Amino acid sequence: MIRVLIVDDSAFMRNTLSSMITSDPEIEVAGIARDGIEAVEKVALLKPDIVTLDVEMPRMDGIEALKQIMAKTPVPVLMVSSLTNEGAQVTLDALDLGAVDFIPKNLSDLSINIVRIKDILISKIKAIGTKGLIRPLKKAIALHPSPPAQSRFSLHRRINVIAIGSSTGGPKALQGILPLLPEGFTVPIVIAQHMPPSFTGPLAERLNQLSKITVKEAEQGETIHKGVAYIAPGRGHMRLIRKKLTETVVSISEDYGKYIYRPSVDALMLSVVECFSGHSLGVVLTGLGNDGTQGMKEIKNKGGRTIAESEQTCVVYGMPKAVADAGAADRVVPLDEIAGEIINSV
């Protein structure tokens, strides 16, 4: 059994989360806490496998509780976040402090999608609670690493674009890659991170502050440029369209179509193949499900290169595993080596 501690000052939220969690026979509620002080005490006492942690609570808020939990008795934490710009900022702060992912606070407003929300919550709890906390990343010292000969790609076609896909654990994983890329990086980067619409802009802003390259939320119709990373807006799917021989532009569609996850990694990568056949690098990072597998297969089949994050550093080894199992990964490496692989591929 995976044991969950629910931390929230709202009786409605405690009951709702408890009902969702206990609907799965492999998960049980180890206990509840009504504020941050109770949370710190009960994590130490009950030793749960995973914690759901609200942000706004009396006596001690979720951020201070998270700091104390990670310092005293580290355990995987899912933040319960409001789907607002302010909520996004606080959630990103929490991810920096050690939280592994988040779930939406506005459960009462999403009754139409309640079954899907429950399925995602249970999937995250089971995947994260079973694995526990991953090892910390190595200190990235060399920004221009020289990997051993066996780690170099055997193909030597010029790479003209890099496409990255990520989900659960992705924001922190992206912080382990983009800030290591050098100023003057010679190709554009396009990124699909599964996130709500209000979160992708703040994520881009935070990554931009940390990076030497420019990182921004992509805009409809803009031309992509080298040395810029474009994060797909959470409101729909991002694709690339070749407008002229030397110009490729961003297209944002809110027609969700056949794709379950938003923004879709597959939709983005398949469009990259159409625009840069044989000259693209695909990277799939930590995340639930198999989004990106089809896109990575096409990148590889058309002569491009592909990298999947290895299990040892994934918060959830779902998307990269699906890619590796499909034979679509040229390289499977830990997160702390991916920036070096990217730099050495362009």
Classify each residue of 123-162 as buried b or exposed e, where b means 16 or more C-beta atoms within 10 Å of its C-beta.
Answer: bbbbbbbebeebeeeeebeeeebeeeeeeebeeeeebbbb
Can you list the positions of beta strands (E) in the chain?
2-7, 27-33, 50-54, 77-81, 101-104, 161-166, 189-193, 214-217, 228-231, 237-244, 247-253, 280-284, 305-309, 331-333
Instruction: State the distance between the two ends of the chain, measured CA to CA, in whole angstroms.
Output: 46
Q: Kindly tell me if the per-residue pLDDT of 207 is higher than 50.
A: yes
Q: Tell me the residue length of the chain.
A: 346
pLDDT digits (tens, 9 = 90+) for 69-78: 999 999 999 9
Give SS3 for 81: strand
pLDDT digits (tens, 9 = 90+) for 15-30: 989 999 999 999 999 9
Q: How far apart are CA 105 and CA 25, in angstroms?
A: 24
Average pLDDT over the chain, rounded to an integer: 89
Q: Kindly tell me if the per-residue pLDDT of 143 is higher than 60.
A: no
- This prediction's pTM: 0.90
Q: Kindly tell me if the per-residue pLDDT of 64 is higher than 80.
A: yes
Q: Residue range 222-234: average pLDDT?
A: 96
Domains of the chain in start order, with CATH, are 2-131 (3.40.50.2300), 149-343 (3.40.50.180)
Which run of H or of E encompasses 18? Answer: helix 11-22
Q: Which residues are catalytic?
A: 167, 194, 291
Which run of H or of E encompasses 47? Answer: none
pLDDT digits (tens, 9 = 90+) for 293-325: 999 999 999 999 999 999 999 999 999 999 999
Structure-token pair, residue 269: 């990568």
